[in-house]
Copies of this chain bind each other. A is one copy, B any other.
Amino acid sequence: MIEPFNDEYFMKKAFAEAVQAFDEGEIPVGAVVVSKGKIIARAHNLTETLNDVTAHAEMQAITAAANLLGGKYLNDCTLYVTLEPCVMCAGALGWSQIGKIVYGASDEKRGFKKFAAKALHPKTEIVSGIFETECAELLQEFFQKKRK
């Protein structure tokens, strides 16, 4: 059976956001929030453009999704993000009580799993590794380009 709206489908949308960040000279991380099979928020990292360390893709996506839903809890939502959330974003996702998080690449240096393992709500489901290689390679390409 064909499942067009699966985790891969939505991660591709998050990846498209990451590519947009790349094109804007931002560390390429993208995210979408899905509720009842529909994308209700899209965002990409804007820390350089907005001159604001809090402007990670996930933070903007949480704010936008809550704004659209009219409630600050995201229990029925899934966040798709190309990179493992950092401590800040995991803390925010914890407050939001988001239902599920799907991420692409792992982040050994800054990821929440290592530095804030209990930041999320206990009921939040986590899936990792969807398009891991593509998400990681986009980041590597960005940092290689920056070093030149």
Q: Which residues of A contact B (CB under 8 A)?
A: 47, 51-54, 59, 62-63, 66-67, 70-73, 86-92, 94-96, 115-116, 118-119
* Of the residues B87, B95, B115, contact of A53 by C-beta under 8 Å: B95
Q: A115-B116, A116-B91, A118-B115 are in contact. Are A62 and B70 (CB under 8 A)?
A: no
22 residue pairs of the A-B complex, CB under 8 angstroms, read: A51-B66, A51-B71, A51-B72, A52-B62, A52-B66, A52-B72, A53-B96, A54-B62, A54-B92, A86-B91, A86-B95, A87-B88, A87-B116, A88-B88, A88-B90, A88-B91, A88-B92, A88-B94, A88-B119, A89-B91, A91-B116, A116-B119
Residues A92 and B51 in contact, CB atoms below 8 Å apart: no
**A-B contact sample (17 more), CB < 8 A, given A51-B72, A54-B54, A91-B91:** A47-B72, A52-B67, A53-B66, A53-B72, A53-B73, A53-B96, A54-B59, A54-B62, A54-B63, A87-B116, A88-B92, A88-B94, A88-B119, A89-B91, A91-B116, A115-B118, A116-B119
In-complex Cβ contact of A87 among B47, B63, B94 (8 A): B94
Task: For A119, list chain B residues within 8 Å (CB).
Answer: 87-88, 115-116
A66 contact set on B, CB distance < 8 A: 51-53
| Contact residues in B for A91 (Cβ distance below 8 Å) | 86-91, 116
A72: B residues at CB distance < 8 A:
47, 51-53
In angstroms, Cα B48 to Cα A70, docked, is 11
